Amino acid sequence: MSNLAIDYDDVVAAHRRLEGIAHRTPVLRSTTADDLTGAALHFKAEHLQRIGAFKFRGGYNAISQFDAVQKAAGVIAFSSGNHAQAIALSARLHGIRAVIVMPEDAPAIKIAATRGYGAEVMLYNRYTQDREALGREIAEAEGLTLIPPFNHPHVMAGQGTAAKELFDDVGELDTLLVPLGGGGLLSGCATVARARYSHCRVIGVEPEAGNDAQRSLARGEIVSIATPRTIADGAQTQALGSLTFPVLRECVDDIVTVSDAELVHAMSFMAGRMKQLVEPTGCLAAAAALSGRVAIEGQRVGIILSGGNVDLNRFAELIQGAKE
């Protein structure tokens, strides 16, 4: 019997809770992308999910399992933006209080959206302060329930519903590419892949500047790093979680990295050729496919586009900078 934090049944249960609440996002195709890679790419468009990212799945699944005492007190989370919005909206849908600890340099669009959903936002310096310590301190002082962005079984199971829908819609895949920060999305998706199609190769993709997961799997233990400096703000994690790491170690075949330049190229391709606005972190898996970081020629490939919450001015700066 598995001692992992989640199994496929947990993802199925999460999918039932999300039915009619979360968007069933489309699977996009691109003839140009197929021609460039020599593969049949299937893009799961989670940038079109509620709050603009897959994070809504895990956030709602977690809060929907609160008991009466937890609902009366409220929820707290720490996040660079997408988990923040997911918890804020999920709390509003359940009629409970939400406090979100966010880095002061988080994209302005994400801070504004989090406040727009009704959450109380507390800012911190991600390079000098410990967001987890701040979150625990406030939670204890005010009786709030803390939902971390990835190291939580209900969050992990909720995120896995993205892969469940992808397989439901397109069938068996040879390779599944998934963005990787703290491992919540990847652990959920890998759990689904192993249960549905055991021969599907599951690969996590993280930024070059923050390859803690790649190093962790190579070493066989969680490796912590300084906050990575990368445009993929949703993947600026310092370490995998105690719950996500064992799932990745057992269910993931490989972890690759992509550069910021490759992320910008993928963003430009998604916008220019597929008419989709995807944030840097959301393009991690796409960048791995388009840049040739993973051998996929002749394969049916699933790609999770994890989010689209990028400030338009910032998006323009990144694209223009790549042309200069």
List of domains in the chain: 8-53+152-323 (3.40.50.1100), 56-146 (3.40.50.1100)
CA 10 centroid distance within chain: 18
* Known active-site residue 110: no
CA 105 centroid distance within chain: 19
Residue 321 CA: distances (Å) to CA of 230, 315, 318: 15, 10, 5
Predicted local confidence at residue 106, as pLDDT: 81
Cβ proximity of 94 and 73 under 8 Å: no
Phi, psi of 254 (to 5 degrees): -165, 160
Q: Is 83 helix (H, G, I), strand (E, B) or coil?
A: helix
> Which residue out of 55, 81, 184, 302 is catalytically annotated?
55
Q: What CA–CA distance (Å, rounded) separates 269 from 41? A: 14
Quick one: tokens of 20?
Answer: 């009619």
> Which residue out of 165, 212, 260, 279 is catalytically annotated?
212
Q: Going by DSSP bridges, is the β-strand pair 120-124/201-207 parallel, antiparallel, or unpaired?
A: unpaired
For residue 109, the one-letter residue type is I
Predicted local confidence at residue 1, as pLDDT: 42
Residues in a beta bridge with 53: 307
Closest by CA position to 231, among listed 192, 204, 268:
268
* Known active-site residue 55: yes
Q: What CA–CA distance (Å, rounded) separates 153 from 188? A: 9
pLDDT < 50 positions in the chain = 1
* Known active-site residue 120: no
Strand order in the sheet with 254-258: 27-28, 40-45, 300-305, 175-179, 201-207, 254-258
Cβ proximity of 173 and 197 under 8 Å: yes
* Known active-site residue 206: yes
Measure the CA dihedral 83/89/90/96, to 10°.
Answer: 120
* Known active-site residue 306: yes
Tell me how crowded residue 5 is: count the other CB atoms within 10 A of its CB: 22
Q: pTM for the whole thing? A: 0.94
CA 72 centroid distance within chain: 28
Residue 169 CA: distances (Å) to CA of 44, 119, 143, 172, 226: 10, 34, 42, 9, 39
**Strand intervals (E) in the chain:** 27-28, 40-45, 75-78, 98-103, 120-124, 145-146, 175-179, 201-207, 254-258, 300-305
Helical H segments across 143-236, by residue range: 153-170, 184-196, 212-219
The one-character DSSP state at 53 is B
> Which residue out of 10, 206, 260, 279 is catalytically annotated?
206
> Which residue out of 80, 90, 187, 216 is catalytically annotated?
80
* Known active-site residue 212: yes
